[in-house]
A and B are shown apart, each in its own frame.
Chain A
């Protein structure tokens, strides 16, 4: 049995050892760690040995998108988002991975025209869906995920898309790092950078986006950013935030409300995102949440750092859950080990939960 958990176990910290961690690192204050800009090198890079010794950048050959490789263990690699289209389960992840399943256990890989890490997937209906990822990749399907066409590929931007929302078969919004926001109103035939200076000016990461029950779109990101559009992404307003750390996503709550979640166990909810008030949900954990999904029973499942899964019922009672590693040991016994890798996203399926993350696709009973 292939055991991806081994990697986590064997992560020699020698590798991460901070033997020479430069002073500039500790100077990096605040929760928003990645502040690297795609700006010219001289401005962002302090004196750094390796960079200094680096040979002058050769005239960069144009980066050619390469089709993803079909490999056996794809579903056990880094998976970043999962969605139930109503017809199939579709999960996306590292190295242009798109995998499809009907039972949540057996996954088949679909080849796509890129190898970039894919970070999010969203379907407008059973047939029309979009995937976004690093290298500003946007892929689209019109046949329910059987085939994917490339609509955008811009590695030279050096910015990743981190989430996508298909409002309908024509209107799609793609959010990314450093204020990246792309928009299409023709199903992706043309994509354009959205204006929206209200939320883009600070060039913060948009980590997640969702549609509220009333049709508004709520985008969340670094430094407690909450951006709301009531007109399908044409115009945006920045909302007052109860928290100034990073949010990773939002779920709709009631007609105009939402649950937002982010770093170090921070979860807030409100019945009206504009008027407030926001109430902090007691999660009793400092594990960051990177993904969440609404459950059929009205509760919410949050997933995140180091295998954290938290179930909140309708009255906000929190239950911690653990996910067991799928697979058998050398003697053929079921492995009795918790998943220790971080989760990125979750989707309810067949009375349980599908979770995806560093150790691939996992499932658990609720």
Chain B
């Protein structure tokens, strides 16, 4: 179309690209197929990749505090295992229960990635008791070393537990259950390897829970000898054998019949299929050798027999909490999730078939969409990433955006054949010329939206952003190159017959299009705009109720009645200490805790927190030393105070070990535990505010009496302290990376590394700076550590970024839309409905009780990504038709038949498909399903009803010369 002189730039571009697709379609296609096979192979190795660290805003000041003191006060990645006697089974002080508790403690202790210094239960030596007796104190481990299961011992343990004040924390309030506390390290400090949460979750489920609740267990024995030569093993072995290579690399065999594995439950259904392929590891130490050999044994090499489980304890329930368990439960549900995706696809295929009238044709959008997802996964894997279970939505969005574009394409192609009587090849070329620019711009607009979400400094969102951008790139390839080529090969049979069928089908909907084309008339347009305005008003009002963060107990990603959330409820109900803990770090100078003036500030802080709404209780070093001081004073309540005398203070602090988690080794930092009633954003905000206010008031009082320092000095000192922490964290991270890159690297090699040297020097410099600032400053109460601290930081970050990100994404989309059309009308007509849908999405989230958090933060941008292509297709055609001289109503009628039809179809089909998600086993998927149904529908209605209404006021049809007939053609 058009002569060389009148060719616009975009047409020139099109002409330049066309040969790539159409010159040697077979060659191009072969390359694409080969690439797809390659990406498919890569993608098949992709693994679920969950991470705690990446879901938290590590740059947030709170998280810097958390990282700085992680070695002293722990992080937030806890695993809690509670064993609770079934109702009516009495207290825990009996042989069976204590044996189970001991076994469970051992299992937790040997969990991969567990920080063994932080495993704590009645059986661990850090849990002690103390009692005041005449003449002083008596104390010891709650369960003594000489423990044996007999009545006397049970009574002793019970007494010690009570004396130690462990009721409510290490046991349930009514002493019918016990808790094992532990914490996971995400990166193995020795190997630098990242923790496999799925494996941890599996062990927790089988080796910890299954061990006690399953009456039977399965013993796996080797069918055949399994052999290995040691030097192969040496590389994998824990101890690199470089120093002492085995004298003669002899083959070591594990004999057939050896029991190599056991488990307490058998997977069923799909999980069993997955399980079959998973090998197990067996560690074997041959006689006379020091090195343990690690065998990887396939399930097919073993057979199992079912035996009675001697550790089965019919009286206990096991409850397991923690991020690792959540990840495990979500991964467990992923198979059904993929199933739901497939169901959505099948339904889409059936509807497409009905719509396009040809099964083969209907297959094309699906094939290209699935190819896009294969490319996406392949590229993701090549970028070194895995698929985060929390980002499972992204591939589906890619799929649906791709389907939307594919349907447009097929629709247009069919139109070219049916209405203009072209053959397959010409129809494809024509469609390409008409849609390539708009389609690609729509996709690029989506890419810009997704890429801009990557500005959020939370790794999991950045990963989602990368993931989505890669997917969008894949869509460009599959929809704009593969699809046109495949279309040229589609044979529709007799074109006349095909056209007739199409017309028949179209005729069904003609009255609808006629009706809809009224939208561009004055009255309906005004009504539509008014309704849009009302909806916007409602959304702005309702959207304010949108919760930041989680509001309910437990994990919102899982169903309220899921096992995990039931476990949470059981733990919360039975233990005095809730699962919601925040730690505030009181920062001061080394050895400062013996000073009354310092301890008093922390003590008063604790009491101020106690008095803050939403806080259940607090524990701190002054709180504990008050108890000790009282105990030293014949337990008289009048001495439950902080001693002014430094040596009495020393006496009151000495019995409190650093393992209590209340103080670090040189006493320059003390943790204040704050147990909150819930983790609602409003509660956390209030606590954060109160901490800030106390900091201000307390330091003002301090400066009043300590005139040698001022706020500037102390804020510099606080910065210097943080610099030390940040430098240490940087070194730790660098070391981990170094170890991961060079497995088995020795200490010497590490110390000689240039980067390490530089970071060590940095630490020394920052330390020296801090040490140089030796004037006393007010205690700095630094937020925050532990789970609720992480939540507070995340909430703040989400809250801070929520609106700016929306604006930035919109700015990006506006620029893209403008670049597509170079006219301001396009921005108004396309963006207004889109913005309305975004704001309505907030309101809908508020109505559905879905909180705004890291997993849902990208939703707005994603919604825009889904919606913008509807808008671009409709606007482009409508504007073209008007420019061609059609009257408004006729122009819109034409638009509806050309692209509107496809928009309506896509919106409905995808909504229909997503509707099935409401029966998913994951609350997260149900919520997303609801949101997506809303977004597909709302964007569809926005594009079909509101967009033309707005456009009718700002676009004018071309004045035709008398007698001139309007001829439709793309303007670009």
Determine whether A234 belongs to the interface, using a CB cutoff of 8 Å to chain B: no
Tell me, yes or no, whether B52 is within 8 Å of chain A by CB.
no
**B566 CB → nearest A CB, Å:** 17
Evaluate contact between A50 and B576: CB separation under 8 angstroms.
Answer: no
Q: Are B641 and A19 in contact (CB under 8 A)?
A: no
Complex interface: chain A residues within 8 A of B624 (CB) = 15-16
Residues A10 and B654 in contact, CB atoms below 8 Å apart: no
Those of B641-669 within 8 Å (CB) of chain A: 641, 643-648, 650-651, 653-657, 659-662, 666-667
Q: Flag if B644 contacts A155 (CB, 8 Å).
A: yes
In-complex Cβ contact of A288 among B120, B167, B634 (8 A): B634
Q: In the bound complex, what is the Cα–Cα distance between A9 and B164 (angstroms)?
A: 10
Q: Given A48-B650, A61-B706, A162-B638 in contact, is the A14-B168 Cβ separation under 8 Å?
A: no
Closest chain-A Cβ to B125's Cβ sits at a distance in Å of 9
Residue of A nearest to B572 (CB): A330
A298 at the A/B interface (Cβ < 8 Å)?
A: no
Contact B166 A12 (CB under 8 A): yes
B656 contacts across to A, CB distance below 8 A = 15-17
A14 touches B659 (CB 8 A): yes
Residue in chain B with minimal CB distance to A163: B638
- Cβ–Cβ contact A29 & B135, under 8 A: yes
Q: Does B616 contact A (CB under 8 A)?
A: yes
Contact flags B93-131 to A (C-beta < 8 A → 1, else 0): 000000000000000000000000000100000111110
Inter-chain contact A13/B135, CB cutoff 8 Å: no
B533 close to chain A: CB less than 8 A: no
Query: Which B residues are CB-close (under 8 A) to A160?
Result: 638, 641
Residues facing B in A71-115 (CB within 8 A) are: 71-73, 77-78, 80, 94-95, 115
B701 to nearest A CB, angstroms? 7
Smallest distance from the beta carbon of A242 to chain B beta carbons, Å? 17
CB <8 Å contact, B617 and A263: no
Is A21 a contact of B137 with CB atoms below 8 Å? Answer: yes
Contact A19 B647 (CB under 8 A): no
Q: A15-B619, A342-B637 are in contact. Are A10 and B139 (CB under 8 A)?
A: no
Determine how close the nearest CB of chain B comes to the CB of A245; give it in whole angstroms.
Answer: 8
A227 to B589, CA, bound (A): 46
Q: Which residue of chain B is the closest to A44 with respect to CB atoms?
A: B647
Residues of B close to A155: CB separation below 8 A? 644
The reply to whether A53 and B591 contact each other, CB–CB distance below 8 Å, is yes
A10 interface neighbour in B576, B597, B628, B706, Cβ under 8 Å: B576
A363 within 8 A of B: no
Within the assembled complex, what's the spacing in Å between the Cα atoms of A129 and B675?
A: 39
- A333 in the interface (beta carbon within 8 A): no
One of A31-39, A141-149, A191-199 contacting the partner: A31-39
- B776 to chain A: closest CB distance in Å? 6
Knowing A10-B617, A344-B638 are in contact, say whether A55-B628 is a contact too (CB < 8 A): no
Q: Does A248 contact B (CB under 8 A)?
A: yes
Within the complex, the shortest CB–CB distance from A120 to chain B, in Å, comes to 8
Question: Which of B120, B627, B706 touches A15 (beta carbons < 8 Å)?
Answer: B627
User: Is A201 close to B, CB under 8 A?
Assistant: no
User: When chains A and B are docked, how far (Å) is the Cα of A35 from the Cα of B336?
Assistant: 70
Q: Do A36 and B576 touch (CB < 8 A)?
A: no
The answer to whether A13 and B634 touch across the interface, beta carbons within 8 angstroms, is no
Q: Which of B608, B623, B632, B705 contacts A71 (CB 8 A)?
A: B608
Q: How far is the CA of A51 from the CA of B576 in the complex (A)?
A: 35
Selected contact of A6 from candidates B120, B168, B641, B654, CB within 8 Å: B168
Q: Is the CB of B591 within 8 A of A158?
A: no
The answer on a CB contact under 8 Å between A17 and B657 is yes
Residues 592 to 617 of chain B near chain A (Cβ within 8 Å): 593-595, 597, 604, 607-608, 610-611, 616-617
Complex interface residues of chain B between 725 and 755 (CB less than 8 A to chain A): none
B residues less than 8 Å from A31 (CB atoms): 134-135, 634
Assuming the contacts A3-B617, A8-B165, asked whether A54 and B594 have C-beta atoms less than 8 A apart, the reply is yes
A17-B139 in contact given A50-B650, A71-B611, A264-B134 (Cβ < 8 Å): yes
- The answer to the question of A290 belonging to the interface, with a C-beta cut-off of 8 Å to chain B, is yes
Determine how close the nearest CB of chain B comes to the CB of A342; give it in whole angstroms. 5
Contacts A15-B624, A20-B654, A290-B637 given; indicate if A36 touches B136 (C-beta within 8 A): no
B591 engages A117 (CB within 8 Å): no
A357 contacts the other chain (Cβ, under 8 Å)? Answer: yes
In the complex, which of the residues B591, B619, B633 contacts A55, with contact meaning CB atoms closer than 8 Å? B591
The answer to whether A45 and B705 have CB atoms under 8 Å apart is no
Known A36-B651, A158-B645, A358-B637; judge A9-B576 contact (CB<8 A).
Answer: yes
Question: In the complex where A16-B655, A33-B633 touch, is A72 in contact with B611 (Cβ < 8 A)?
Answer: yes
B165 touches A10 (CB 8 A): yes
Whether, in the assembled complex, A362 has its beta carbon less than 8 Å from a beta carbon of chain B, the answer is no
Shortest CB-to-CB span from A311 to chain B, Å, is 20
Chain A residue numbers with a CB within 8 Å of B168 are 6, 9-10
Is the pair B135, A28 in contact by a Cβ cutoff of 8 Å?
A: yes
Residues A16 and B627 in contact, CB atoms below 8 Å apart: yes
Expressed in whole angstroms, the Cα–Cα distance for A248 and B636 within the complex equals 9
* B165 and A11 contact, CB distance less than 8 A: yes
- The yes or no answer to B813 lying at the interface (CB within 8 A) is no
Collect the chain A residues with CB atoms within 8 Å of residue B158's CB.
Answer: none
CB-defined contacts of A211 to chain B, threshold 8 Å? none
With contacts A28-B136, A34-B632, A78-B637 taken as known, whether A13 is within 8 angstroms of B130 at the C-beta atoms is yes
* Proximity string of chain B (493-505) to chain A, C-beta cutoff 8 Å, 1 when within and 0 when not: 0000000000000
**Chain A residues with CB below 8 A from B654, complex form:** 20-22, 48, 50
A260 CA to B708 CA, complexed, in Å:
51
Task: Produce 1/0 per residue, A175-202, CB < 8 A to B.
Answer: 0000000000000000000000000000
Q: Which residues from A are CB-within-8-Å of B660?
A: 12, 14-15, 17
Given contacts A9-B576, A55-B589, A58-B776, contact A263 B128 (CB under 8 A): no
**B169 adjacent to chain A (CB < 8 Å):** yes
A293 is an interface residue with CB less than 8 A from chain B: no
CA distance A342 to B630 in the complex (A): 11
Contact in complex: B641, A134 (CB < 8 Å)? yes
B35 at interface by CB-CB < 8 Å = no
A240 to B628, CA, bound (A): 32
Contacts of B576 in A (CB 8 A): 6, 9-10
User: Is residue A210 contacting chain B, with contact meaning CB distance below 8 A?
Assistant: no
Task: Tell me if B617 and A6 are in contact (CB < 8 A).
Answer: yes
B173 contact set on A, CB distance < 8 A: 9
* Contact between B135 and A21, CB atoms less than 8 A apart: no
In the bound assembly, the distance between CA atoms of A305 and B631 in angstroms comes to 11
The smallest beta-carbon distance between A66 and chain B, in angstroms, is 7
Considering only CB atoms, which chain B residue lies closest to A337 in the complex? B173
A270 at the interface (CB under 8 A from B): no
Is the beta-carbon distance between A61 and B134 smaller than 8 angstroms?
no
Docked pose: A268 CA to B641 CA in angstroms: 29
Bound-complex Cα distance A63 to B634 (A): 28
A343: Cβ under 8 A from any B Cβ: yes
Q: How far is the CB of A77 from chain B (nearest CB, A)?
A: 7
In the bound assembly, the distance between CA atoms of A28 and B133 in angstroms comes to 12
Question: Which residues of chain B are within 8 angstroms of A77 by Cβ–Cβ distance?
Answer: 607, 610
Most chain B CB within 10 A, of A54, A63, A80, is at A54
Interface centre among B134, B140, B604, B641 (most CB of A within 10 A): B641
A308 to B608, CA, bound (A): 29
A50 CA to B655 CA, complexed, in Å: 12
B382 close to chain A: CB less than 8 A: no
Interface residue? A207 (CB, 8 A): yes
Chain A residue with Cβ nearest B615: A2
Q: How far is B589's CA from A41's CA once the two chains are assembled, in angstroms?
A: 21
Q: Which residue of B lies closest to A13 (CB)?
A: B164
16 pairs of residues in contact across A and B, judged by CB atoms under 8 Å: A2-B610, A2-B616, A10-B169, A16-B129, A17-B657, A20-B654, A25-B137, A34-B648, A36-B647, A51-B594, A64-B705, A72-B611, A73-B611, A134-B644, A162-B638, A246-B634
Can you name 14 extra interface pairs (CB under 8 A) apart from A77-B607, A80-B638, A344-B637? A11-B627, A14-B127, A17-B139, A20-B654, A34-B632, A34-B639, A41-B646, A50-B650, A50-B654, A54-B646, A66-B701, A248-B636, A342-B637, A343-B637
- Which 8 A/B pairs are nearest by Cβ-Cβ distance? A13-B164, A11-B165, A18-B139, A17-B128, A9-B168, A15-B624, A344-B637, A71-B611
